[in-house]
Amino acid sequence: MPNRRKLLLALSLVPFAMSAQTAAPTPRDLVILHDQVRVREITSRKFTQTDLHGWLAPMVRAGVVSTEQAGLSGEGRPITLYTYGTGPTRVLLWSQMHGDEPTATMALVDLMTLFHRSPDHPLVKLVRERLTLLMMPMLNPDGAERFIRRTAQRIDMNRDALALETPEARTLKTVRDRFEPAFGFNLHDQDPRYTVGTTRRLTAIALLAPPVDETRADNEVRTRAKHVAAGIATTLGELIPGTIAKWDDTFEPRAFGDNIQRWGTSTVLIESGGWPGDNQKMHLRAMNFVALLDAFRRIADGSWSTTDLAAYESLAFNMRLGCDLLITNARIRPSQKAPAARVDVAFNIDEITDNGDSPTIRVTVVDIGDLRTYAGYEIHDAGGAEVDSLVVKVDKVLTPEQLKSLIPRK
Ligand SMILES: [Zn+2]
């Protein structure tokens, strides 16, 4: 591997010719670029606003990005707007309105690091000259502090776009209305246990150009967003083929994505799901970096408008057919009267974090039966062995030790 890596790095030194649309960097080029600039200090997806400020300090100090305090969180933490570029097209990006969804925040740090470290990179110049990026990483710093979804007021701020009861929601709406950006990116993490339709592939990234009303009919604003999403699906499709899904397109009248689309900013939702063996989501952090940088390029050079919408429209919707652990080919006999059955058993393993307490592990049995349609992050073949029917019941919460006892020894 080291040789191959050296070769990749050598190749990356060849500058991209950005004057013509045909010379756009390939998705692989962007992965290499990310590996060169990513902030190496970020190794865990659990971090606080203090960590974030530390990582962004070099860019702020050097004046690479300009900052302003756009608002304050419920508990008085600053919500900062970071601006890069002086171009005519305004692009608004916000991440981590759910405090436990940090993947895109890491990618935004990496993007700002790229702007700092490689100001002469053709792609960086293109972005700077044609776009004004308005970035609000970690919109919900109080939730991030506890690594929970909701704000300090216990409200899901993504259901507060109309009521505006939270200062975080008011801050986002105020910035949106003040700049009226042409494009918006609504950056989240989804349950990693979604699958791409019935393909039995776990969803790595889900995309959505949110609808503007119950009819889900397209208007011009949404169609533009679909083109941008199609560009992302095309680019990421080369890197992580078959693992990109579409998020549920039901209109949610209280959500920000739907409303910001309705208010006139072409908005794309990017949901980071899961990747086997990557609990800290570092691979998906790289995919976010690639998706966003490539989208900036398409918006900046105008090529977004010529992307084939089919790349987006043909994506399968997320389905709930994934689990953390699957035991296949087991036998269960819960009752003396009923015959034994051959079954698969699906488990989810959650880390429960509540108000800053140390996290606890909760194992739940989610399904029993013929689970051939399921995908699992971990799969064990029981080889026909009988499982303890007192433990294996749907919705039963198990101790980690009980789960361990069910896993067949090799
Ligand atoms: Zn979310």
Q: How many angstroms separate the alpha carbon of residue 333 from the centre of ligand 1?
A: 40
Q: How many angstroms separate the alpha carbon of residue 118 from the centre of ligand 1?
A: 31
The CA-atom distances, in angstroms, between 69 and each of 157, 169, 174, 244 are: 19, 15, 12, 35
Q: How many angstroms separate the alpha carbon of residue 209 from the centre of ligand 1?
A: 15
Q: How many angstroms separate the alpha carbon of residue 126 from the centre of ligand 1?
A: 30
Statement to judge: residues 201 and 340 lie in one domain = no
Contact between residue 32 and residue 14 where contact means Cβ atoms under 8 Å apart: no
Q: What proportions of the chain, in percent to the nearest 5, are helix, strand and coil? A: 35, 25, 40
Of 137, 142, 151, the C-alpha closest to 67 is 137
What's the pLDDT at 359? 78
**Could you tell me the CATH number of the domain that includes residue 190?**
3.40.630.10
Among 319, 347, 375, which residue terminates a domain?
Answer: 319
91-121 pLDDT, tens digit per residue, is 999 999 999 999 999 999 999 999 999 999 9
357-387 pLDDT, tens digit per residue, is 677 899 999 999 999 999 999 999 999 999 9
What's the pLDDT at 162? 98
Statement to judge: residues 335 and 218 lie in one domain = no
**Per-residue pLDDT band at 5 (split at 50, 70, 90):** very low
Q: How many angstroms separate the alpha carbon of residue 119 from the centre of ligand 1?
A: 32
Statement to judge: residues 52 and 166 lie in one domain = yes
Statement to judge: residues 241 and 110 lie in one domain = yes
Q: Return the structure tokens found at 220.
A: 């011009």
Q: How many angstroms separate the alpha carbon of residue 102 from the centre of ligand 1?
A: 9
Residue 388 has pLDDT above 80, yes or no: yes
Per DSSP bridges, beta strands 205-208 and 244-246 are parallel
Q: How many angstroms separate the alpha carbon of residue 410 from the centre of ligand 1?
A: 39
Q: How many angstroms separate the alpha carbon of residue 191 from the centre of ligand 1?
A: 9
Statement to judge: residues 288 and 177 lie in one domain = yes
What's the pLDDT at 200? 96
Of 131, 135, 132, 153, the C-alpha closest to 80 is 135
Q: How many angstroms separate the alpha carbon of residue 149 from the centre of ligand 1?
A: 7
Q: Return the structure tokens found at 311.
A: 């790349």
* Long-range contact set of residues 355-361: C-beta below 8 Å, sequence gap at least 24: 355/146, 355/148, 356/145, 356/146, 361/400
* pLDDT (average), residues 195-217: 98
Q: How many angstroms separate the alpha carbon of residue 309 from the centre of ligand 1?
A: 25
Statement to judge: residues 214 and 280 lie in one domain = yes
Q: Return the structure tokens found at 148.
A: 């929970």
Token look-up 């700002």 returns: 112
* pLDDT (average), residues 299-313: 97
Q: How many angstroms separate the alpha carbon of residue 188 from the centre of ligand 1?
A: 4
**Per-residue pLDDT band at 352 (split at 50, 70, 90):** confident
Q: How many angstroms separate the alpha carbon of residue 370 from the centre of ligand 1?
A: 31
Q: Domain span at residue 137? A: 2-319
**Could you tell me the CATH number of the domain that includes residue 356?**
2.30.40
Q: How many angstroms separate the alpha carbon of residue 271 from the centre of ligand 1?
A: 8
Q: How many angstroms separate the alpha carbon of residue 405 from the centre of ligand 1?
A: 34
Residue 206 has pLDDT above 60, yes or no: yes
Statement to judge: residues 130 and 169 lie in one domain = yes
Statement to judge: residues 290 and 393 lie in one domain = no
Among 319, 341, 376, which residue terminates a domain?
Answer: 319
60-75 pLDDT, tens digit per residue, is 999 999 999 999 999 9
Statement to judge: residues 238 and 258 lie in one domain = yes
Q: How many angstroms separate the alpha carbon of residue 155 from the centre of ligand 1?
A: 13
Q: How many angstroms separate the alpha carbon of residue 269 from the centre of ligand 1?
A: 10
Q: How many angstroms separate the alpha carbon of residue 206 from the centre of ligand 1?
A: 12
117-135 pLDDT, tens digit per residue, is 999 999 999 999 999 999 9
The better pLDDT of the pair 14, 385 is held by 385
Q: How many angstroms separate the alpha carbon of residue 190 from the centre of ligand 1?
A: 6
Q: How many angstroms separate the alpha carbon of residue 101 from the centre of ligand 1?
A: 6
Contact between residue 110 and residue 39 where contact means Cβ atoms under 8 Å apart: yes
Q: How many angstroms separate the alpha carbon of residue 156 from the centre of ligand 1?
A: 9
Residue 21 has pLDDT above 70, yes or no: no
Statement to judge: residues 140 and 185 lie in one domain = yes
* pLDDT (average), residues 21-31: 85
How many structural domains compose the chain? 2
Statement to judge: residues 263 and 328 lie in one domain = no
Q: How many angstroms separate the alpha carbon of residue 100 from the centre of ligand 1?
A: 8
Contact between residue 222 and residue 281 where contact means Cβ atoms under 8 Å apart: no
Among 319, 340, 356, which residue terminates a domain?
Answer: 319
Q: How many angstroms separate the alpha carbon of residue 164 from the centre of ligand 1?
A: 17
151-175 pLDDT, tens digit per residue, is 999 999 999 999 999 999 999 999 9
Statement to judge: residues 140 and 283 lie in one domain = yes
Q: How many angstroms separate the alpha carbon of residue 300 from the centre of ligand 1?
A: 27
Average pLDDT of every residue of the chain: 94
Q: How many angstroms separate the alpha carbon of residue 98 from the centre of ligand 1?
A: 5
DSSP string, 270-297: EEE---TT-TT-HHHHHHHHHHHHHHHH
Q: How many angstroms separate the alpha carbon of residue 339 from the centre of ligand 1?
A: 44
DSSP string, 148-214: -SS-TTS--GGG-TTT--SHHHHHHHHHHHHH--SEEEEEEE--TT-EETTSSPBPSEEEE---SST
